[in-house]
Amino acid sequence: MVFKEEINTSLLAWYQKNKRILPWRKDKNPYHIWISEIMLQQTRIEAVIPYYERFMKRIPDVNALATINEDELLKLWEGLGYYNRARNLKKAAQIIMSEYQGVFPNTYEEIMRLPGIGEYTASAIASICFHEATPTIDGNVLRVYTRLKEDKRNIALNQTKKEIRKEISQIIPLEAGDFNEALMELGETICLPNGEPKCNMCPLSHICKAYQHQSWSKFPVKAEKRTKKELFYTVFLFYYQHQVAIRKRDDKGLLKNLWEFPNELGKMGVADVKKYLKQHQIHFSNVKKGINYKHVFTHQIWYMESYFIEVLETFDPFIWENLAKIKESYAIPSAFLPFLQEFKHKIN
């Protein structure tokens, strides 16, 4: 009980004094909290702010999101990655329009049923906007909690997350939204993941076991991650005068429906590329080595080697556009953005 009272009093008082001013904290509108939470998955707060503001200007509410054209939506999302998140936003908005008459559902259970919304986001919306006592469990919260208690459970296991979720449910106060945000913010700004935590500024240091024993570097305990699949690609940077070739990816699988530079699975040297071009009857005047780039996805790593290829004419099945138009109108995923950047030096 002492732990419960101490954590609530100290944490909430600290949060009221120290909370950051963020655009989605101006009100407790569930649409604003929802969009910000989805954007914040895998992306830092500072990087999300301009995306959030641009998104809200163009798509200010659920109705606008339910009806936006998918290409435009993906373009607004460009650079945030994990594009299925954007597609799910639109699907969920359509459900809110058709099944809830445009009014955001107001319980954890109902919010959880929407596509793309997991426990964490549902808890954040339900607690911040509707005061439901549901804890948000993310890496920040797990780190703070396991350090406070010197808890040795493996946080990579779902079972551990479930148990900790249950334990935090028992200490969460009436101000559930502030409590959740405070714990997350403490993890982001004070109880840091890399490097030494700022314990001397922490409102919970008086009840923190890791602080008492200076053992913070041992927590949280995380099991080894499983290895990622490694794939090698050769990327063809075709250009004809000021136009470059792009194509739309399949409508299934990783990066579906996004735009990319033509590429083939496997490694090729200059001689292999020239052979490939001849086999495919692509008339070229010049082949030069471009940059190499490694892109890390959740379950895969792509090693990409590129070649600039000046061709003598445009050809199918690609779209040929100038760089300004590509930047403005096509959603290029971050795996291919370094090549777009390279092109700028090459042909501008």
What are the residue numbers of the active site?
Answer: 37
Q: Which is nearer to ligand SF4, 36 or 146 (CB)?
A: 146
- The piece of 78-86, 198-206, 235-243, 245-253 that touches ligand SF4 (CB under 6 A) is 198-206
Place of tokens 């359509």: 94
Using CB under 6 A as the binding rule, whether residue 205 contacts ligand SF4 is answered as yes
Near ligand SF4 by CB under 6 A: residue from 65, 144, 235, 258: 144
204 binds ligand SF4 (CB under 6 A): yes
Please report, for residues 219, 283, 337, the alpha-carbon distance to residue 78 in angstroms, rounded to integers and kept in the order given. 35, 33, 10
Binding residues among 6-35 for ligand SF4 as defined by CB under 6 A? none
Tell me the closest approach of the beta carbon of residue 24 to ligand SF4, in angstroms: 25
Nearest distance from residue 164's CB to ligand SF4, in Å? Answer: 14
- 148 sits near ligand SF4 (criterion: CB under 6 A): yes
What's the closest the beta carbon of residue 190 comes to ligand SF4, in angstroms?
5
Interface characters, 100-139, with ligand SF4 (x: CB under 6 A): ----------------------------------------
Residue of the chain from 95, 97, 112, 199 that contacts ligand SF4 (CB under 6 A): 199
C-beta closer to ligand SF4: residue 32 or 147: 147
Cβ neighbours around 248 below 10 Å, total = 16
Helix extents (H) in 196-269: 209-212
Q: 76-81: long-range contacts at Cβ-Cβ below 8 A with a sequence spacing of 24 or more?
A: 76/51, 77/51, 77/331, 78/331, 78/332, 78/333, 79/51, 79/334, 79/337, 80/39, 80/42, 80/43, 80/48, 80/51, 81/42, 81/43, 81/333, 81/334
Stretch binding ligand SF4 (CB under 6 A), from 83-91, 130-138, 202-210, 335-343: 202-210
Q: Which residue has the tokens 């996004």?
A: 258
**CB of 141 or CB of 191, closer to ligand SF4:** 191
Does 155 bind ligand SF4 (CB under 6 A)? Our answer is: no
Residue 184 binds ligand SF4 (CB under 6 A): no
CB of 193 to ligand SF4, least distance (A): 10
DSSP bridge partners of 240? 243
- Taking CB under 6 A as the rule, does residue 190 contact ligand SF4? yes
Provide, rounded to whole angstroms, the least separation between the CB of residue 211 and ligand SF4.
Answer: 4
Cα dist from 54 to 33, 58, 60, 159, 331, whole Å: 15, 6, 10, 38, 15
Beta carbons of 266 and 296 less than 8 angstroms apart:
no
Quick check: 147 binds ligand SF4 (CB under 6 A)? yes
The answer for 16, left when phi > 0, alpha when psi is -120 to 50, beta otherwise, is: alpha
> At its nearest, how many Å lie between ligand SF4 and the CB of residue 296?
28
d(CA 303, CA 21) in angstroms, rounded, equals 39
Rounded Cα gap, residues 26 and 203, in angstroms = 25
Host H or E run for residue 260: strand 259-260
216 binds ligand SF4 (CB under 6 A): yes
Residue 318 structure tokens? 């690609």
Grouping H, G, I as helix, E, B as strand and the rest as coil, residue 18 is helix
* Run of H or E residues at 238: strand 229-240
Interface size with ligand SF4, residues (CB under 6 A): 14
C-beta of 185: minimal distance to ligand SF4 in Å? Answer: 12
- Interface residues with ligand SF4 (CB under 6 A) are 144, 147-148, 190-191, 197, 199, 202, 204-205, 208, 210-211, 216
